[in-house]
Each structure stands twice: as structure tokens, then as C-alpha cells.
Amino acid sequence: MAYVITQPCIGTKDASCVDVCPVDCIHPGPGEEGFEESNQLFINPDECIDCGACEPACPVTAIFEESAVPVEWKSFIKLNADHFA
């Protein structure tokens, strides 16, 4: 399992989550290649340790534990994983 970034990140993308992630698995962060072009940020499911630190840090409630992703945003589970494929 992993945490997943969903729809509300689009248009916000403030990177608050990047600052609190202990394993640096949220990309592309500010200053990284692709940050300007990307609609949103993504969590690498292979590196996420499920600590949950990013969830309350998000000002728009875009981050959910995988099993708790709202049904209308389930497609974001694959979107996050595909970003790192």
C-alpha cells in the first residue's frame, strides 16, 4: 500500500507534502525536472513507507491512503504509480 495524490492537487501544487516526506518519494518537487510542466505531484508507491505525514500537510486534502481514496478518484492510484514506471 501507499499514499496517493489525487485531483485537488491539480492547480494547487504547493509542495507542502514534499517538505514533510521523510523518504523523499514525492515528485516532481520544486526545482526538479518536470515540476513546471506537471499538473500535480505524485507519490512513488514503491518508496512510500506509509508514515502518513503528508496527509495532514496538504492544504486541499488531496492525499489519501490507497484504500481510502474516494471512488471518483480511484484512477489516481494508477496515475501516481505510472509516473514512476
Residue selected from 27, 42, 63, 76 as contacting ligand SF4 according to rule CB under 6 A:
63
Q: Measured from the CB of residue 71, what is the shortest distance to ligand SF4 in angstroms?
A: 19
Q: How far is the CB of 17 from ligand SF4 (least distance, A)?
A: 3
Residues 8-27 that bind ligand SF4 (CB under 6 A): 9, 12-17, 20-21, 23, 25-26
C-alpha closest to that of 6 among 85, 65, 46, 57? 65
Q: Where are the beta strands (DSSP E) in 1-85?
A: 3-5, 26-27, 42-43, 63-65
Task: Give the one residue of 34, 50, 75, 84 binding ligand SF4; rule: CB under 6 A.
Answer: 50
Q: What angle do CA 78, 20, 35 make, to 5 degrees?
A: 55
